[in-house]
Amino acid sequence: MTHCFVLDAQGRKLSPTKEKRAWYLIRKQKAILKCKFPMVIQLVREVPEEEIDSTPIHLGIDDGSGIALVQECRAENKPVFKGTIELRIDVKEKLAVRRGHRRYRRQHKKYRPARFDNRSSSRKEGRIPPSIRQKKDAILRVVRQLTKWVRIDKIFLEDVLIDIRALEKRYNPYRWEYQQSNRLDENIRKAAILRDRNTCQDCGATNTRMEVHHITQGV
C-alpha cells in the first residue's frame, strides 16, 4: 500500500494521501497515527467543509477475495488501496465434525423419540450454506471497516457464473456431474481462446494477440 487514509480532527473522511506525506505530517506533529496497517492518520486540525475533496472513490471487489480502491483523477485513475482477503477454508470440515457429534448425541437420547428435520435454520427460505455465507460476511466486514476511514462513492462487484452450460444450453446435470468441468483448459484465458478458435468476438480478427476480458454491453 502506497497511500494512507486521512481523517480530520472531527473524524470526517478526507482523500487519501501518500505514505511519505503522512509520515511527514506525523513528524511535524500535524497528525497522529490511528492505524498502522492499513495506515490511517488523523489531522490535529479541522478541515472546512468547502475544502474537502469530493473526487469519487470506487471500490472494486473480486468474488475470489480481491479488493481495491481507485480514485478518479483528471489524467488517470489512481489506485489507493489493494489487498487480498484470506478466507477460511475449514468451515466445511468443522461442520462435518459438528454434525457427527450431534448425530452421536441424538442416538444416545433414549428418553425421547428421534426427531427429523427439526432445525428451522435448515428449512427457512433463502438459506445460504455456512461455507458460502462466511466468505461473504468476511468481505462485508472489510468493506464496513474501510467505510470508517475513506469515502466510497460506488462499489463494483465482480460476479461469477457457476454453471454456464445451464444458462446457455439448458443443461440440467445430476449433482455429481457438477464436479466434472467441461472447460477446454484449466486456464480460463486459454479456454476462452480455444472456444472462440482464436478469433476476436468484436472485430473478427484472427492470428493476432487476443485480449480476454469481461464483456461490456452498451446501453
Domain limits, the chain: 1-54, 56-67+83-160, 163-209
Ramachandran angles phi, psi of 18, nearest 5°:
-70, 150
pTM: 0.64
Distance CA 150, CA 160 (A): 27
Ramachandran angles phi, psi of 82, nearest 5°:
-155, 150
Looking at residue 110, its pLDDT comes to: 66
Distance CA 66, CA 81 (A): 11
Looking at residue 119, its pLDDT comes to: 65
Looking at residue 216, its pLDDT comes to: 55
Looking at residue 219, its pLDDT comes to: 40
Looking at residue 74, its pLDDT comes to: 80
The answer, yes or no, to whether the previous bond of 56 is cis (omega within 30 of 0) is no
| Cβ atoms of residues 118 and 106 within 8 Å | no
Distance CA 13, CA 52 (A): 9
Give the distance, in angstroms, between the CA of residue 57 and the centroid of all CA atoms in the same chain: 16
Which amino acid, residue 100? G
Which amino acid, residue 151? R
Looking at residue 1, its pLDDT comes to: 59
Q: What is the pLDDT along the chain (219 residues), one digit of tens a residue?
A: 589 999 999 999 999 999 999 999 999 999 999 998 889 999 999 999 889 988 999 999 887 678 899 998 888 888 999 888 888 888 889 988 988 888 787 777 766 666 666 666 666 777 788 888 888 898 899 999 999 999 999 998 876 655 555 555 566 666 566 556 666 666 777 777 888 888 888 888 888 777 776 555 544
Residue 53 to residues 20, 23, 187, Cα–Cα distance (Å)? 20, 21, 42
| Cβ atoms of residues 19 and 3 within 8 Å | yes
Q: Would you tell me how many other CB atoms lie within 10 Å of the CB of residue 7?
A: 20
C-alpha cell at 131: 461455507
Q: First CA to last CA across the chain, in angstroms?
A: 36
Q: Nearest CA to 48 among 9, 21, 96?
A: 9
Residue for cell digits 492505524? 35
